Every structure is written in structure tokens, then in C-alpha cells.
Amino acid sequence: GRLVLRACLQKGIKVAAINDPFIDLQYMVYMFKYDSTHGRYKGEVHHEDGKLIVDGQAISVFQCMKPAEIPWGDSGALYVVESTGVFLSIDKASAHLQGGAKRVVVSAPSPDAPMFVMGVNEDKYDPSSMTIVSNASCTTNCLAPLAKVIHDSFGIEEALMTT
């Protein structure tokens, strides 16, 4: 979730809300500012009036255990990135829609949601029928684009991958 927030901020994408039922707002500020893997966030991060403030942008913060209880619509959130690793199926991820979200992207493999990898099969996405999709796994996102180039150029008859 924190990396998605960083990526959105770098691209100028407005983030309306965050839900994290496991940490308080003060610790959320600390965790975002001091990422042990990706380094210290160079911008301004603090909290004020129950909101996370990042580079002057106020982000609503919720601490709901159940996705259906998160008021995404009230905060103006249209798209939800489900990155808990818990609500992976269409049935479970669809609870976000009850809170007012319009679309959900699951950041892990799903047992039943269509999976997309940019540069590989995003052309198969149908916005008229797919409100919940999966971005597959980090391993798939590393391997699939390379495998696609090799397959398209030379063909792959059989492959084995280990992680």
C-alpha cells in the first residue's frame, strides 16, 4: 500500500483515502516517511485533524476491519487498491464496492478475478464488465513481460520458473 501511495504521488494522482486497521495515524506517518527498503520519503509528511498529510495533500484515513464498512464513496475514492493480501477473491474484494468504490485492483494473485500484467495482456481488460481485477504477483510482473517478448519472437514450448 505504501509503495502504491508513493507511486501515485510521483505521478500526480490524487489519493482520496487509506484504510489500515492495524496501525494508528502517528505510526502511519512514521512508516511512510521512513521506509527501511525504499528509503526516506523526501517530501513533507505529518497528520492533522485525523488525516494523513503528504506534501500538502490531505488523505482521509480509515481503520475498518471489514471492507464493506470503509466509506470510500464519502471520501471521493473511485478506485481501491486492495493490498492486504486477505480479500483476494471477487466475492471478498467486492465488499469495497459496498463502501462506494467503483473499481478494485487486487495487488496479488486472485483465485477468480481476471489477472492483468501491463505489457502482456492489458488489452483484454473490459471496463464494461470487469469491476474487480488482479495485478497478479510481483514475480509474474517480473517474468511475464520478458517471457512474452521471447515467446512472441521465438516461441516458448515449455518453461520452468523457481522463486
Q: Identify the active-site residue in 8, 64, 138, 142.
A: 138
3-class secondary-structure state, position 2: helix
Please say whether the beta carbons of 52 and 27 come within 8 A: no
In sequence order, what are the beta bridge partners of 2? none
Please say whether the beta carbons of 115 and 138 come within 8 A: no
Helix (H) or strand (E) holding 148, with range, is helix 138-153
Asked if 142 is an active-site residue, the reply is no
Whole-number Cα distances in Å, 115 to 13, 24, 50, 137 = 23, 32, 35, 9
Active-site residue list: 138
